[in-house]
Amino acid sequence: MKAIILAAGPAERLRPFTETRAKPMIQVAGRPMLEYSLRGLAAAGVTDVFVVVNHKAETISTYFEHGARFGLSIEYVRQEPLDGIGAAVRRCEKLIGRDPFLLVYGDVMMTGNPFQQVIGQYAESGGAVAALSLPASSSEFGNVYVNQDMLITRLVEKPSNPQLSNYVFAGIYFLPGSFLDLLTQHRNDMLPAFQALVRQGTLYGSLWDGGWIDITRPWQILDANRLVMGQWDRAEIHTSVKLEGDVHIEGAVHIEENVRIGAGTILKGPCYIGAGSYIGNNALVREFTALGPESIVGYGTELKNCVLWGRSILGRLSYIGDTVIGERVHLGTGVTTVNHFDDNRVVSIGTEEGALSTGFTKLGAFIGDDVAIGARNVLAPGTRIRSGTRIEDLISVRTVI
């Protein structure tokens, strides 16, 4: 069985993190989100995967190589220029042939294994299948309508009622090889090709009632992290972990190999500590925190609901809350991310389109790769810091004679 994964777009709305990596390499609960899809595909019986790449393609191919350790054969197909989703699929036409195939969007996260369900629906119905989700709001997505037999009867690209919540495409499809002919007929435009399947009465929905999120903004990385960790029900601690004194561990704490944790530290699950990390004395790692590999956390530092992708140093007596931090970041002593306003108003973030409401009253900072922030700096709610930025120590006194 074969699958196409779409992973080419630059995902500019996820900056600063996509400045230095492909979007599917964004880490969630200790793994790139693409890894969750690949493991799920392998478990569902897929053997051959074609990953369509362009932006920062090497960050994907270097990590996954040709898929052997995931039980897959992975081949990379470059999309140059970036000329749309339909064109990306067509670039795999010779590799797919006329066989049915799974089509997977590389920027969605789900709990469980929806691939098996979609494949089963295809076998039962004999028609094309689209995984569907029912988000809290579907105003940013095309709406999908189904009948009692889960046959899709209508697609609405831009719903007129922005408050309406309805089924949406969840980014996973099982399509017949003949779908490629429909793309040819409709000049590689996906929506008319799907509309043609609807008119033919051959497109079915498969409702996924597990967790689902389409990651398009930086703060949604925190949502995805909570989505995955919320499924953890037990602690998993590698036998090589060294607890250097009295360390308190409670809940679903996952700790990888060769981690050292200093005396007096408290770990509250669900949380994740990556391989080769060191956590100093009297630190507090709270729920829904994920520390990537080779992280160093200084004495007395508190971490809460944050994602760090690894190889970073957090200075002593710092507070990092509701925050996402890239790789190789150095925070000096006493750095604080302020994660709320005194009046409890919703946090907005500056974007290329202007200030954008996040919907959160508690939100910290979003710090790109290779950033250095000096001691005692305080970051306002919703701060974004570009990759490679250097911020000096906050020094109030230089010389007194």
What is the CA 116 to chain-centroid distance, rounded? 21
pLDDT confidence band for 161 (50 / 70 / 90): low
pLDDT confidence band for 150 (50 / 70 / 90): confident
- Summary mean pLDDT of the chain: 90
Greater pLDDT, 224 or 350 = 224
Task: Report the distance separating Cα 399 and Cα 401, nearest Å.
Answer: 7
Mean pLDDT of 132-153: 75
Encode burial over 36-45: b for 16+ CB neighbours within 10 A, e otherwise.
Answer: bbbebbbebe
Burial class (CB in 10 A: 0-12, 13-18, 19+), 199: exposed
The reported pLDDT for the residue numbered 313 is 96
Task: Report the distance separating Cα 361 and Cα 344, nearest Å.
Answer: 6
Task: Report the distance separating Cα 13 and Cα 32, nearest Å.
Answer: 18
Greater pLDDT, 341 or 135 = 341
Q: Is the pLDDT confidence value at 398 over 80?
A: no
Q: Is the pLDDT confidence value at 148 over 70?
A: yes
Helix, strand or coil for residue 17? helix
The reported pLDDT for the residue numbered 139 is 52
The reported pLDDT for the residue numbered 359 is 86
Contact 115, 100 (CB under 8 A): no
Task: Report the distance separating Cα 257 and Cα 190, nearest Å.
Answer: 45
> Quick one: DSSP state of residue 151?
B
Query: Which residue, chain included where needed, has tokens 């809460």?
Result: 304
- Which tens digit of pLDDT belongs to each residue from 58-109? 999 999 999 899 999 999 999 989 889 999 998 998 888 888 999 999 888 8
Indicate whether 185 and 40 sit together in one domain. yes
Which backbone phi and psi does 237 adopt, to 5 degrees? -125, 120
Q: Which two tokens stand for residue 350?
A: 């500056």
The reported pLDDT for the residue numbered 140 is 56
pLDDT confidence band for 287 (50 / 70 / 90): very high
% of the chain exceeding 90 in pLDDT: 62
Indicate whether 72 and 210 sit together in one domain. yes
- Which tens digit of pLDDT belongs to each residue from 297-338? 999 999 999 999 999 999 999 999 999 999 999 999 999 999
Q: Is the pLDDT confidence value at 166 over 80?
A: no
Mean pLDDT of 238-259: 95
Q: Is the pLDDT confidence value at 55 over 80?
A: yes
Mean pLDDT of 174-184: 90
Task: Report the distance separating Cα 259 and Cα 68, nearest Å.
Answer: 27
Torsion of CA 203, 209, 214, 218, to 10 degrees: 180
Indicate whether 253 and 152 sit together in one domain. no
Burial class (CB in 10 A: 0-12, 13-18, 19+), 26: buried
Greater pLDDT, 83 or 370 = 370
Give the domain extent around 206.
2-216
Indicate whether 140 and 259 sit together in one domain. no
**Domain-located, residue 398:** no
**Domain-located, residue 73:** yes
Contact 345, 387 (CB under 8 A): no
Mean pLDDT of 390-396: 91
Indicate whether 50 and 126 sit together in one domain. yes
Task: Report the distance separating Cα 401 and Cα 392, nearest Å.
Answer: 24
**Domain-located, residue 401:** no
Q: Which two tokens stand for residue 90?
A: 């067509």
Q: Is the pLDDT confidence value at 182 over 70?
A: yes
At 79, the amino acid letter reads Q
Q: Is the pLDDT confidence value at 284 over 80?
A: yes
Contact 117, 125 (CB under 8 A): no
Nearest to 297 by CA among 329, 324, 323: 329
**Domain-located, residue 376:** yes
The full DSSP string for 243-260 is: EES--EEESSEEE-TT-E
The reported pLDDT for the residue numbered 126 is 80
The reported pLDDT for the residue numbered 381 is 93
Indicate whether 305 and 345 sit together in one domain. yes
Q: What is the CATH number of the domain that holds 275?
A: 2.160.10.10
Q: Is the pLDDT confidence value at 33 over 80?
A: yes
Indicate whether 286 and 332 sit together in one domain. yes
Indicate whether 184 and 316 sit together in one domain. no
Quote the number of domains for the chain.
Answer: 2
Q: Is the pLDDT confidence value at 352 over 80?
A: no
